[in-house]
Amino acid sequence: MRIISGSARGRKLLTPGQRFGDSVRPTSDRAREAIFSILAAKVVDARVLDLFAGTGALGLEALSRGALSAVFVDGQRSVIELIGRNIALCGFAERATVLQRDLARGVAFLKATQPAEGFNLVFLDPPYGSTLALSSLESLAGGNFLAANAIVVLEDAAELQYPETLGPLVCFDQRRYGEAGFWLYQHPEAECND
């Protein structure tokens, strides 16, 4: 697994190996490349949130492509350590924040670390087939975490279905790469309120 484009292009990332089993499932290089092609210029200067970050590959790819900052969140201490090592390998320590949180308890903790104007780009990659994807998406939609025109990229098993709209979020694209499905939602042009 590597960074595909940008300032850290070609940098190999540490992967979890077998000790994590199915709890960490990195997004394939092919799928990441396709998703970032869709996002294109929206990544530049974005404030990124990578939930269920795993290896951190999605947030690191965004930083490599010009995102201003990224907050990486995962629940396992050993995974958090892996993300920290990958951030250091890419040289992004000054632009990255890593948090260990149980995302099954919600995302209210983000109030303390979110940018004043909200996150511009969110990657949401929970364990496939869990209820965490929908509950996290609902929390993001219902809270004041997202900037105007923010994009949320949800990854889950390709055979699943997600709503076309959820609160203010509207699904504007859906893709499938092997077993992985991606739903891209956009927040409307409304300012983030405190």
| Residue-level pLDDT at 192 | 42
Phi first, then psi, for residue 145 (nearest 5°) are: -95, -20
CA distances 158 to 31, 57, 73, 154, 163, Å, are 12, 20, 23, 11, 14
Instruction: Give pTM, 2 decimals.
Output: 0.91
Q: Which fold has domain 30-186?
A: Rossmann fold (3.40.50)
H helix runs in the chain, sequence order: 29-39, 57-64, 77-90, 132-142
Strands 69-74, 47-51: pairing is parallel
Distance separating alpha carbons of residues 40 and 27, to the nearest angstrom: 18
pLDDT digits (tens, 9 = 90+) for 72-116: 999 999 899 999 999 999 999 999 999 999 999 999 999 988 899
Regions in the chain scoring below 50 on pLDDT: 18, 20-22, 190-194
Residue 4: left (phi > 0), alpha (psi -120 to 50), or beta? alpha
pLDDT on residue 129 = 87
